[in-house]
Structure 1
Amino acid sequence: MISNTGITISVDAMGGDHGPSVVLPGAAIALQRHPGTRFVLFGQSEAVLPVLDQHPELKAASTFHHCEISIRMDDKPSQALRQGRYKSSMWRAIEAVKTHEADVAVSAGNTGALMAMAKFCLRTMANIERPAIAAIWPTLRGESIVLDVGATIGADAQQLIDFSMMGGAMARALFGVERPTVGLLNIGVEEVKGQDEIREAGRLLKETPIPGIDYRGFVEGDDLGQGTVDVVVTEGFTGNIALKTAEGTARQIGAYLKAAMNRTWMARAGYLLARSAFQRLRDKMDPRKVNGGVFLGLNGIVIKSHGGTDAEGIAAAIDLAHAMARHGLREKIEADLENFHLRVSDDVPATPESSSQ
């Protein structure tokens, strides 16, 4: 679908806590950043069209499809899949990627429903047992990628290796790093620490190096903010707790600073003198600027935006979608997986039965 005329992004206009009133202004902001982008919008016409009329440039760059059903944020994934398949704005946005009407899909809707529909519609890639959600993580060095941050709970050694390859491909696409560094999140850097699955994944990554990544061993929780490696790999339970903890800590620090700056007139005067520094800090800690989780391991790219974000956050998620489509993320993952499994099969010694035939 990617052509000389630009990239096409399908958008679930009904997704999130605020629906079209936030999603469409966010798409309008993203269009200003990426002129030439086309949008395929899905939603209920009575909710979408009045807002779309307020953004003539977005309307001119978009195709709209009416959908009967909007998935609610509190719908169970099984319920959403049963009732919303083929008819909901969420399903239709994903299906547009499958049918090549769009290059990538974006939704701020129910995470569980979005993952269930994406898996059912797009299916997982060959040799991938489980998809993962990858998040961009602000660090002292810049940004890192952390996965999985909530697609599934638990992961065996092979799944952690798959996450490593997918995260490495995303880092190459997003950061332009030829061989991104990868670490497995663990309770210590020593090889004897951690669960069996993590230790086994570390052993296999050392014994069978993957050409597209530079495996650096185990990393700990404090390495996330340090940016010790380009890609941090973990299973979804731990990754989701780490993500929510980091977001909560950022808001907590922001609240502390605001209270401190308003406590006395001297503090307020100090804030005025250091306003530019505080503005840079606020921008760095703003979760909207790194909004968007990438569903990896599917036959198509889907971006999940935070449901409660504003238009700027939606725009950031669409920025990410644009980057993933422009750099051919899915093709990079497919190539890495194929090369890895070919290399593993070549390293397996032939059995007496097979060698005698």
Structure 2
Amino acid sequence: MTQTAPIISVDAMGADNGPSVAVEGISHILTRLPETPARFLVHGDEAQLAPLIAAASPLARERITLQHTDSEVRMTDKPSEAVRRSRGSSMWNALAAVKNGEADVVVSAGNTGALMAISKVVLRMKKGVHRPAISASWPTPRGHTVVLDVGANVECGPKQLVEFAIMGEAFHRAVHGSTHPTVGLLNVGQEELKGNDTVRAADRLIRDAKIDFKYHGFVEGDDISLGLTDVVVTDGFTGNIALKTAEGTVKLVAHWMRESFTSSLTAKIGAFFLNMGGLDHLRAKLDPRSINGGVLLGLNGMVVKSHGGTDGEGFATALGLGIDIAGSHFLTEIEANLERLTRAEEAKSETDS
């Protein structure tokens, strides 16, 4: 969809803390980005949302169009059940708005499995992609590393990992502005013989297919936060554990900081002067709400998954990510490399037979 003002389709009923999160998020993002012309198509229960919108900022009220829905997908719903029962829900309608050309991108804090399953039904998979992947933008000293998959696919074959690499590289260029992002495969070591059969086969496939990106090779877990490569590829089981471990570590460090700075009067005085010298900047970097939002890659449409337990500030970050990708062309940029991958797989099959 091509237009000056991006339209963000919002599933307002999915968050753990209710629809207020979505409305607050819209107010927050319009405060953060006062120049954005973005508009918001908000799907959900009118009885709950109308009072929230009426109490929102004047600019938010002006930019929101409310679309009433009678049902919602609950966090406890199994993906298979959600697909069968979700037609007409806030999640389904938010996705349908992108499919029908009414909006550019979907943002939802709802049930991850259901969002993945319904997205595949409504938007369909991109040609050459077997399964979608969830990407996360990981802060590093060099900017951001895109890590995928972080939870959509517990088990992956070599071809799927290469598909993730192609999608992640295009996404990094579109969202983070890199010209030639580097790609690495997550492994237990950088040596050629390290790792399981799947990772080693994916490494060979990338090299044999002559994929058009800068391939670094294997990277290790600590290389993610160091930013050794711009894109790190792994299966959803490993990626989700890595992501949750990093989030837990950030919370632990933040706890230690609070504990240290309130342990005595001297520490409190020191914290006061540190606040003047940039402690607030560090606190902002450690706030998980500042990086909230993962993009579902591999679909014929753009979908941003917000953390279900976030608040308005965190949801605003996911909305900001949606605004960033709304004007990008990464969906079309991956097609040439997916075609190369398909040809390489066909050639290998002919050789093997």
TM-score when normalising by structure 1: 0.93
Match of 1:81 among 80, 83, 91: 83
Q: CA deviation at 1:264?
A: 1.3
- Whole-Å separation in 2 of the counterparts to 1:176 and 1:35: 18
Measure, in 2, the Cα distance between the counterparts of 1:263 and 1:138.
29
Whole-Å separation in 1 of the counterparts to 2:336 and 2:313: 34
Q: For the structure 1 residues 131 and 3, does the alpha-carbon distance in structure 2 shift closer, same or farther, using more than 3 Å as the test?
A: same
CA distance in 1, matches of 2:12, 2:251: 27
Structure 1 residues 227 and 289: CA distance shift in structure 2, 3 A? same
- Map 1:206-221 onto structure 2 (within 5 A): 206-211=207-212, 213-221=213-221
Q: Could you say which residue in structure 1 is the equivalent of 2:232?
A: 232
Counterpart secondary structure, 1:58: helix
Secondary structure of the residue aligned to 2:278 is helix
Partner residue of 1:256? 256
Residue 147 in 1 paired to residue 148 in 2?
yes
Q: Which residue of 2 aligns with 1:18?
A: 17
Superposition map of 1:280-299 within 5 A: 280-299=281-300
Percent of residue pairs identical: 48
1:348 Cα deviation after fit: 7.5
Deviation at 1:49, TM superposition (A): 0.7
Q: What is the one-letter code of the residue matched to 1:17?
A: D
Give the counterpart letter for 2:322 in structure 1: A
Deviation at 1:341, TM superposition (A): 4.3
Q: Residues 179 and 47 from structure 1, CA distance in 2 versus in 1: closer, same or farther, beyond 3 angstroms?
A: same
Alpha-carbon distance in structure 2 between the residues aligned to 1:82 and 1:102: 24
Q: 1:345 to 1:176 in 2, by over 3 A?
A: same
User: 2:329 is matched with which residue?
Assistant: 328
The Cα offsets for residues 130-186 of structure 1, whole Å up to 9 and x where unpaired, read as 110000101122211000000111111111110000000000001211211000000
User: Do 1:37 and 1:61's aligned partners in 2 also have CA atoms closer than 8 Å?
Assistant: yes
How much has 1:43 moved relative to structure 2? 0.2
CA distance, structure 2, for counterparts of residue 336 and residue 297 of structure 1 = 13
- 1:215 is paired with a residue whose SS is strand
Q: For 1:105, what is the secondary structure of its paired residue?
A: strand
Q: CA RMSD in A?
A: 1.8
User: CA separation of 1:346/1:151 partners in 2, compared to 1, >3 Å: closer, same or farther?
Assistant: closer
Partners of 1:137 and 1:294 in 2: CA distance: 13
* Residue identity matched to 2:273: L
The TM-score normalised by the length of structure 2 is 0.94
In structure 1, what is the Cα distance between the partners aligned to 2:223 and 2:217? 12
Amino acid at match of 1:3: Q
What is the CA–CA distance in structure 1 between the aligned matches of 2:342 and 2:320, rounded to whole Å? 34
Contact 2:211 2:341 in 1 (8 A): no
Quick one: distance in 2 between partners of 1:246 and 1:58? 34
Unmatched tracts of structure 1, length 5 or more: 352-357
Q: Which amino acid aligns with 1:13?
A: A
Distance in structure 2 (CA, Å) of the matches to 1:297 and 1:52: 33
Q: CA, structure 1 residues 17+262, in 2 after alignment: closer, same or farther (shift >3 Å)?
A: same
Asked whether the equivalents of residues 208 and 344 of structure 2 are also in contact (C-alpha less than 8 Å), the reply is: no
Aligned to 2:63: 61
